[in-house]
Every structure is written in structure tokens, then in C-alpha cells.
Amino acid sequence: MQCSVFIAATIDGFIARLNHDIDFLPEGDVEEHGFTEFYASVDALVMGRLSYEKVLSFGEWHYGSKPIIVLSSRDIPMPSASEARVERLSGSPREIVQALSSRGWNHLYIDGGVTITRFLEAGLIQRMIITRVPVLIGTGIPLFGALPRDIQLSHVATRSYKSGLVQSEYTVTDGASG
């Protein structure tokens, strides 16, 4: 099973403000930066409860009928969009990957700071695409939490965009056993 990350962060490494707001992300007609192709390549998106609750606050459902797996031990609210396919699961990252692999799925999109960190700790992330937003916000929710060891990455490519976004792609060169 391949597990990949595709996420935006500020130059100072935050994915959201402390109140979970992401108002620093570019709005409007931002150039295509590979998300559409990436999203089409995944079987499902796996995110934590807090990320999911933020998604619900947007009002509009942006995920179509792609399965969304929300990691939580508590019940979660369901979106109003009729095409939404949302499921709650709990367990370790390895248990989650095993359960989803048994469905015949091959590629998971892992999203949310805590969830990404937990999957990295478990050695389950193989690819990361990180887009830097040209802003400093000073404090917020970090992209990565504390890790028990160094995780070695191999640089694949870096692309820059007219909007000022800079995107780097990496493969995880150690600990990947998913």
C-alpha cells in the first residue's frame, strides 16, 4: 500500500493557525499545481477528526465521491453532500492501512499534521509533496510533530509557480514498510 502526503504549509512550517483557520492559503484562480492529478491517483483520503471538522466548516463538499476515512474514536458528523462517502475508523496507522488494503485499495492520501506524523512514525509514508505558501504567520499548527528519530528523505523535484508557491516532492528513504 502506498501512502502519500500532499499538503501546503507556510514558510515557517505551519499548516493552520492555532484556531485551525487556513485563511493564509491563496484564494481564487491559483494555477494548477498537480493536486488534480494527485487526487485522481488515490483510492481514499485518510485524515484526523480535527482536519475533517475543518473541512466540514467550508460548507461546500470538495471531495466528490472519493472515500474519506476519518480517524477518530468518537462519532463524527456527516456532511450534507449526497455524493460524500465518509467513514470513521480507529486504530494504529498500521491497522488502518491493513484494513484499507484488504478492500483492494492501493494508494492512500494522508492528511492533517497529527495523522501525517503518526503515519511517518509507523514508517508508512512513501511520498510527500509539500507546497510552501509565501507567508510567515509566526505561530500555528505545525506540519510535523515531534518524531522519535530522524526520517531520511530523498529530493525528487522542486517546482515554483507564478503565485509564489514553491512545491517540493520527496520520497521517504528509510522506515517505509507499507
**26-32 CB contacts, 8 Å cutoff, 24+ apart:** 26/133, 26/163, 26/165, 30/161, 30/163, 30/165, 31/161, 31/162, 31/163
Beta bridge partners of 71: 48, 89
- How does pLDDT run across 8-56, given as a tens digit for each residue? 999 999 999 999 999 998 876 678 889 999 999 999 999 999 999 998 9
pTM for this model (two decimals) = 0.93
Residue 100 sits at φ, ψ, to 5 deg, of -75, -30
Mean pLDDT of 94-99: 97
- How does pLDDT run across 142-178, given as a tens digit for each residue? 999 888 999 999 999 999 999 899 999 999 997 544 4
Domains of the chain: 2-19+32-172 (3.40.430.10)
Who's near 60: CB < 8 A, 6+ residues apart?
none
Q: Is the pLDDT of residue 117 over 90?
A: yes
